[in-house]
Each structure stands twice: as structure tokens, then as C-alpha cells.
Amino acid sequence: MKEPLRQQLDYGLKEMGLYFPVPVQQKLIHYIQLIARWNKAFNLTAVRDVGEMVSKHLLDSLAVQPFVEGKTVLDVGSGAGLPGIPFAITSPEKQFVLIDSNGKKTRFLMQAKIELKLDNVEVVNMRVEDYQPMKDGHRIYFDVITARAYATTDDILMSTAHLQDETTHILVMQGKLDEKISSDQYVLIGSHVLNVYGLDAERHLLEIKKI
């Protein structure tokens, strides 16, 4: 464990008004160290320095944590597990599905699930449009759907429409703010500037619900 990394994380969390105990912070650091190790072969992220990952991946994801309500969360286009794995580490009482169509990235997600002992995570390797989860013969709808700007907001809403009902809370993380929603089936219920410690870039969150 590289203590300076955890100290960096702890300081950033405090500056953002967030608190997680030391074992949780250690698991978050273990996670970005896994990314750094696998990144050489799997090209998981353009961020190569593990120190930069503290702000660009961990703090950037956890800035959204206060908005994640409900029990079941779908992280669409999860990639290296952002924001899904930081959420799963810090909210063990919730259930997370991390979906990505890239086989290399989902292999990494499976390894991270095993090494970090994340029993509340399910990894799915497919296009979200083809994902049809069922339980006891009924379609599953998620309490929360998160997406870290892997596509336009309209594309995210359209590709996950079959996984939403009117109670689903859709959280779209963006860099430059774009509040455009073309469909009249949805309403923007909140638009937030995210102040991420150590990140000199625009970060925004859109909260959307189906009408």
C-alpha cells in the first residue's frame, strides 16, 4: 500500500465533504493500482499515472456518490469500472451491474471484482441494447442508471430505455455541460456543477427521469 496515495485520497475526500473509513480508502487505492497494472496490456484508460487516477478516476466518480439512491444500479459503458467500482466499494449495501461491450475491459472488471472481493458486483459483456435482465419471469428495471459520458445524453437514454421505468434515476456525468434532451419522454430534474478536488476541468452531472 502506497500511503501517500491514500493520504492524497483522504485529503481530496475531506475537501469535497465526503468521508469513507481507512479500509474503504485502501480498497479504492488497490483498485486504481489494479488499473495501472492492467493498463499496460489492456489500455483501460488514457491516464497512466496512478497518482493522477486519484483525482481523475476516484474523486471524479465519488463526487456523484451522494446522488446514488436506491438498491440496484446499472453502470453503462463501464470501461475500467468507472464510476461503478468506486460506487460498489463505498456502497456495499447496493447491487451493481457493470456492462460493457469490450471483452478486454470486462475481463479486467471480473478480475477487479475477484481481487477486491466485491460480492455486490455483476459484470456483463454485451451491448446494453441487447441486455434483457429477468427475474421470476419479469423484466428488471434499475433504480439508478449511471453513465460517464461514453455517448451523447440522447444515446444513453435511448439505449437504456428498456431498463428504465418512471422511478429510475438516470445520472449522466459530463465534462462540458450539454443539457439537451430531444425526447419528450424525459425530464431534466437537476443539473449540477461537480467540484472535483485536484481536477482542473469542467465536470457536470445531469439527473434525468422518464415521464
Per DSSP bridges, beta strands 134-135 and 95-100 are unpaired
Q: How far apart are CA 125 and CA 103, in angstroms?
A: 6
pLDDT exceeds cutoff 50 at 190: yes
Look up residue 46 and give its three cell numbers. 488514457
Mean pLDDT of 173-180: 90
* Per-residue model confidence as pLDDT tens digits over 30-65: 999 999 999 988 888 888 888 899 999 999 999 999
Quick: pLDDT tens for 57-110.
999 999 999 999 999 999 999 999 999 999 999 999 999 999 999 999 999 999
The three-point CA angle 180-182-188 to 5° equals 55
Using a pLDDT cut of 90, give the percent of the chain over it.
85
Of 30, 4, 52, nearest to 197 (Cα)?
Answer: 52
| Residue 83, preceding peptide bond in cis (omega within 30° of 0) | yes
Q: How confident is the model at residue 2 (pLDDT cuts 50, 70, 90)?
A: low
What's the whole-model pTM score?
A: 0.95
pLDDT given at position 1: 45
**HSE (CB half, 13 Å, CA atoms) of 211?**
7
Beta-carbon-side half-sphere exposure of residue 62 (alpha carbons within 13 Å): 28
Phi-psi group of 79: left, alpha or beta (phi > 0 → left; psi -120 to 50 → alpha; rest → beta): left
Do residues 100 and 121 touch, judged by C-beta distance below 8 A?
no
Q: How confident is the model at residue 142 (pLDDT cuts 50, 70, 90)?
A: very high
